[in-house]
Structure 1
Amino acid sequence: MRPRPTRYALPLAPAVVLALGILLLGALELLQSHKEAAGRGEENARNLADVLAEQTERTFQAVDFTLLGIRDAWTAAPDMPDNDLRFRESLTERLKALPYVRALYVIGPDGFIAHDTDYPSTPRVSLADRPYFKAHQQDPALGLHVAQPLRSRSVGVWFVSFSRRINRPDGSFGGIVVAAVEPRYFERFYGALSVGEDGFIALLMRDGTLLARSPVSEEAIGKSFAAVEPLNTHLSRSPQGVFWGASPIDGMTRVIGYRALGTVPAVVNVGLARQTVFRSWREHAAVVSVSAAILLGLVIVLIVLVQKGRRRDQAEQVRLSRAQRLEGLGRIAGGIAHDLGNTIRIMQSTFRLLRPSLADRPDALSLLGDASQALGGATAMIERLLAFARRQDLRPEITVIDGRIDGFAPILRQAAGPRITLDLRLSATGRAARLDPVQLEATLLNLVLNARDAMPDGGTIIVETMDVGRPLDSGKHLIPAADGRWVQVTVADTGIGMPSAVLERAFDPFFTTKGQGNGLGLSQVLGFVQQSSGDVELDSEEGRGTTVRLLFPAVPLGGQADGYSKPETAISGEPHPRLEAALREIPSRHSGPDPMGPRRQRG
């Protein structure tokens, strides 16, 4: 009987719970570590934004202090001529202390540059149209003004103007003092900081105008990003913070820390790429995943081993139960066969004594012949019962299996019938076993007839031999082969197969599902093989056919073996008497020609 998988569901529950526990713990660990990695990334972005904001604010304050000093110096000498040498030298000294400023200059009320650190290379052009000039001209109360980035008309580079208004003693507009701050300074400074691959640092005005960015994006400088976070909503809620979002420049998702400057309407943004933030987490996740996979693999292996062990134990219990049942049936059958055999021999002796006295009575002799023939059938049944009980008389010989089957193949093909293909696959070359060759032929014939009956619409019967190192799934009662080798003979069909209930009782004597025959075929097969120190394995599944394996211990080839490589009874002469007994019920099992032909009818 095949093991039922549902019987193992409950014992396997702890292993399944363990596997689920491993998966759950691994998932919880990954979720927790992912949350911690995200928190560390947010903290790093926030801290870096705070540091850069403070540094940028100090830079802007230094620029403003310089502008205030220049304004005070110019106010002290309002009648100073344009491009005064001493004043220009003081501007140059101040410029040296400001590496982030490209130029310092003073614009008169008429819009032309009066003093400039770039003199005399600066072209004389009016700057009255510049937005920063107009802003101070129109608003006397305007303090430090930081304008949007512009391109210099003299050198063609981007700059951000930091400017202060100059008032005359009477309070009227006297011009402005300007510091041209280069965004490239901030880009170089930001670029020297480590924000990881695909990270960025940006400096923006509160209105969204981009002043500087690292990595450099020339096309983005001067553009407005007022609709982008944090300028859109976050900055109105808090002057500093952190959030996750996608960059409008490259579309990459990052964790962004921001902080608004206190003295200048500007904002510093620091973005750390997701792959940078979660790089250590991915490494940790890989370790956790591999560890979980190893543990799950061990659990799965444990489950498989437990399943195999339990199935093997159950199969052995089923085998042992079947062997005990068949052993009991064998003892009963042997006793019955022995007693019936004695009775039949007495009756046969009586019939032989009656024949001379009935020589002149043909009708009585005919009845006596019918009775003798019936007793002959009973004798064949008794022989099969004795074979099942392992008490039959065998004539074991060292027999080359492949040679015997090859010589018997014509009879097997006749028994299979015209609609069945008999496929011989003899690969146990040179291997021999000590057994009764005639009973081997009767066994093969019996199995072929069973296979034929299981394929009413035709099919294929495979008769295969092979040399195996150990008997597959065999019991412990087998006698080991002399050299540890076994000869396996397999008969497989593509027929209707057997349900498990039928498979369980297949070897029981007198059990049949055909509605005809005496149900002793497989019983005789089992008895013969076990009496030959071998074993039988039977596998079957409904709709997929049946396979019968006969296992015999291999013996070394001796001088006698060559004489039995081809069975003489299979190729010439009369069949062996015991083979004749095995064939007697063939006409009742098929409608085709008698496999033994006219030779069987001579007796």
Structure 2
Amino acid sequence: MRSRSVRLAIPLAPAALLALGILLLAGLELRQTYGEAARRGEEDARNLAHVLAEQTDRTFQAVDFTLLGIRDALKAAPGMTDNDVHFQNSLRERLAALPYVRALYVIGPDGFITHDTDYPSTPRVSLADRPYFKAHQEDPGLGLHVEQPLRSRSVGVWFVGLSRRINRPDGSFGGIVVAAVEPRYFEQFYRGLSVGEGGFIALLLRNGTLLARSPAAEEAIGKSFAAVEPLNTSLTRSPQGVFWGTSPIDGWTRVIGYRALETVPAVVNVGLAQRTVFRPWREHAIVVSISAVVLLGLIGALMVLIQKSLRREQAEQLRFSRAQRLEGLGRIAGGIAHDLGNTIRIMQSTFRLLRPSLADRPDALSLIVDADQALTGARSMIDRLLAFARRQELRPQITVLDERIEGFAPILRQATGPRIALDLRLSANGRAVLLDPVQLEATLLNLVLNARDAMPDGGTIIVETNDVGQSSSPSGNFDSSAVERWVQVTVTDTGIGMAPAVLERAFDPFFTTKGQGNGLGLSQVLGFVQQSSGDVELNSQEGRGTTVRLLFPVVSLEEQLDGDAVAEAAGSGEVRPRPEASLREIPSHPSVPDRIGARRQRR
């Protein structure tokens, strides 16, 4: 019972491997697509940062161009009075072309505004303490300067000051020209771009000071994030790139693409939320997971059906095994019964001829009678033995060669051992043949074991199938042209091969060169193939291996459609012990009664 349970459990191993393979493939698929989703998110963030950096660069370039124009206009009109009407109008015209600038103004060397687009509401307040004023005052070579966000003293809103130094004709400090850029402009511009739920776009100075952000975060404007990692490290390493990080503002994990501007020391950051980046992947993961579950369910259902089928098959195999065992016993019993029956008949005939001559010798006659009765009992036992030796039907089936061989491959691989590689090349194109599949497997196992024994140092065994169409009979024992199509099974090894003398006798019964075994392997192969209406071809050379070619006729479509009738017709011939077959041949000799009769005549 335990062995039967083990056999029933064996198919569970491939099913478990298949299920494991499905899970592994699903895992690999999800891992690969996860990586692809991450790479797509990084690429999107990087590309959007690049585009916005170019756009922001152009914005600051336009502001700088305006500042340079104002400075040149001041140089062209030395001695201009404060708040000159014509110059004020010129400033307002320039401001109208810059929607992202709140105000344009000029600060004199004393720190007071001399020209302003807000005039006449300009407060009389000294700006000499402003960092951007001091920067130009202290550094004559300073170019375009971008100040960190400040609150306007006149209107109380945030602005980013872009400024240029004004030099007197003698090169001394003559004040600065300033453009007050509104962070709200960038916030509104960035808000029009779709970065998904949880995404953001930010403009920062290279020192980490936040200039603008969308979604708006006014409380963070002007704060420094220079210490935030990995932003600081990334900026130090490269002016553009991408990294994953968690925002200190809202706590979201994002992929962040960044790119430094060329005009000013600032950088554009584009953050895409992790949940947004991986939303398509999660949807794909759900589909893959459901598919895997469905496949596993189908495998489970299939295994239940296979287990039921295996139980039925094992019951059939058990009956088949019993039939085979009975067939073998029948052959033995038939041979023994034939031999012993002849002997007993001779002995009984002899005893019965001796009875009249022993009528005056009661003791001897009694012995003869007892012996005759014992032989009669032996005859009864032989009759029961012959009754036990019943017929055994052949079991040919329409068999798809490739499928059968592929299913038997694990046993073949186990038989070859670890030092020998088994290479299956199945290309019979689904052709079916009519034969006993169990005997086919036994034949293949026989050939593979022979090939293994021919390769003591290891090697390769190739089991190959082909649809060969018309083919001639290798042995010439039958007219192969009567068969429309043939398939062949070849077993090739890289072993020691056979000498011509050995090759000539390879199919002889009881011929062996291995020093062990009964020498019936290839003869059994030949018998099976020829009983299946096929033929065998053997090719071998010393040192170059051996190839055994088996030819089987292909079953036609009509025969496949009526497979039961074909199998019944093919199996109608019953295998039974031949009366003349015996385990030993009894030499021909005159019977005892004949010899006694001859003696009487001589007397």
Q: TM-score, normalised by structure 2?
A: 0.51
Match for residue 159 of structure 1? 159
Q: Map 1:29-48 onto structure 2 (within 5 A).
A: 29-48=29-48
Partner of 2:118 in structure 1? 118
Contact 2:103–2:117 (8 Å) recurs in 1: yes
Q: Deviation per CA, 1:420-452: give whole Å up to 9, x if none.
A: xxxxxxxxxxxxxxxxxxxxxxxxxxxxxxxxx
Q: Compared with structure 1, are the counterparts of its residues 103 and 268 closer, same or farther at alpha carbon in structure 2 (3 Å cutoff)? A: same
Partner of residue 208, structure 2: 208
Structure 1 segment 173-252 matched on structure 2, within 5 A: 173-229=173-229, 231-252=231-252
The equivalent of 1:85 in structure 2 is 85
Counterpart CA distance in 2 for 1:152 and 1:247 is: 28
* CA apart distance, 1:172: 1.5
Amino acid at match of 2:234: H
CA–CA distance in 2 between the matches of 1:80 and 1:105?
15
TM, length-normalised to structure 1:
0.51
SS in 1 for 2:232: coil
Offset at residue 7 of structure 1 (A): 3.2
What residue in structure 2 maps to residue 13 of structure 1? 13
Q: Which whole-Å deviations, capped at 9, do the CAs of 1:534-569 have from their partners, x for residues lacking one?
A: xxxxxxxxxxxxxxxxxxxxxxxxxxxxxxxxxxxx
Distance in 2 separating the partners of 1:181 and 1:23? 57
Q: Give a deviation string over 1:238-273, Cα, whole Å, max 9, x none.
A: 111111111121221111111111221111111111
Does structure 1 retain, via aligned residues, the 8 Å contact 2:230–2:245?
Answer: no
The whole-number CA distance in structure 1 between the counterparts of 2:4 and 2:187 is 73
User: Unmatched 5+ residue regions in structure 2?
Assistant: 322-603
Distance 2:2 2:314 in 1: 9
CA RMSD in angstroms comes to 2.3
1:28 maps to: 28
What's the CA shift for 1:41?
Answer: 0.8
State the percentage of identical aligned residues. 81
- Structure 1 partner of 2:264: 264
Q: How many residues align?
A: 321
Q: Tell me, yes or no, if the aligned pair for 1:230 and 1:258 is still in contact at 8 Å.
A: no
Q: Structure 2: how far apart are the matches of 1:232 and 1:127?
A: 32
Report the Cα distance in structure 2 between the residues aligned to 1:308 and 1:2, rounded to whole angstroms.
Answer: 17
Structure 1 letter corresponding to 2:284: H
| TM-fit CA distance, 1:91 | 0.5
Give, in angstroms, the shift of residue 169 of structure 1.
1.3
CA distance in 2 between partners of 1:8 and 1:254 (Å):
53
Q: Which residue of 1 aligns with 2:49?
A: 49
Measure how far apart 1:52 and its partner are. Answer: 0.7
- Return the alpha-carbon distance in structure 1 between the equivalents of residues 5 and 96 of structure 2: 87
Q: Which amino acid aligns with 1:42?
A: E
- Superposed, 1:69-84 pairs within 5 Å as 69-84=69-84
Describe the superposition over 1:450-469 as per-residue Cα deviations: whole angstroms up to 9, x where unpaired.
xxxxxxxxxxxxxxxxxxxx
Structure 2 residue aligned with 1:422: none
CA distance in 1, matches of 2:132, 2:230: 26
For residue 477 of structure 2, what is the aligned residue in structure 1?
none
Letter in 1 for 2:287: V
What's the offset of the Cα at 1:94?
Answer: 0.3
SS of equivalent to 1:233: helix
Which SS does the other structure have where 1:232 is aligned?
Answer: helix
Alpha-carbon distance in 1 for matches of 2:52, 2:70: 27
Q: Which amino acid aligns with 1:300?
A: G
2:67 & 2:100 partners in 1: Cα distance? 14
Deviation at 1:138, TM superposition (A): 1.1
Counterpart residue number, 2:108: 108
Q: 1:355-397: CA deviations, max 9, x gaps? A: xxxxxxxxxxxxxxxxxxxxxxxxxxxxxxxxxxxxxxxxxxx
Quote how far apart the aligned CAs of 1:122 are. Answer: 2.2
| Whole-Å separation in 1 of the counterparts to 2:21 and 2:312 | 28
Alpha-carbon distance, 1:13 to partner = 2.1
Structure 2 Cα separation of the partners of residues 196 and 291 of structure 1: 29
What is the CA–CA distance in structure 1 between the aligned matches of 2:6 and 2:56, rounded to whole Å? 72
Any unmatched runs of 5+ in structure 1? 322-603
- 1:454 alignment partner in structure 2: none
8 Å Cα contact 1:199/1:273 also seen in 2: yes
C-alpha distance in 1 between matches for 2:172 and 2:31:
66
Give, as a single letter, the amino acid of the residue that structure 2 aligns with 1:109.
Answer: P
Contact residue 206 and residue 231 of structure 1 kept, 8 A: no
Q: Distance in 2 between matches of 1:231 and 1:206?
A: 10
Query: Relative to structure 2, which stretch is displaced further, 289-298 or 13-22?
Result: 13-22
The CA distance in 1 between the partners of 2:312 and 2:39, in whole Å, is: 54
Q: Secondary structure of the residue that 1:254 maps to in structure 2?
A: strand
Matched, 1:67 2:61: no
Note if contact 1:3-1:311 (Cα within 8 Å) is conserved in structure 2.
no
Q: Is the 8 A contact 2:48 2:270 kept in 1?
A: yes
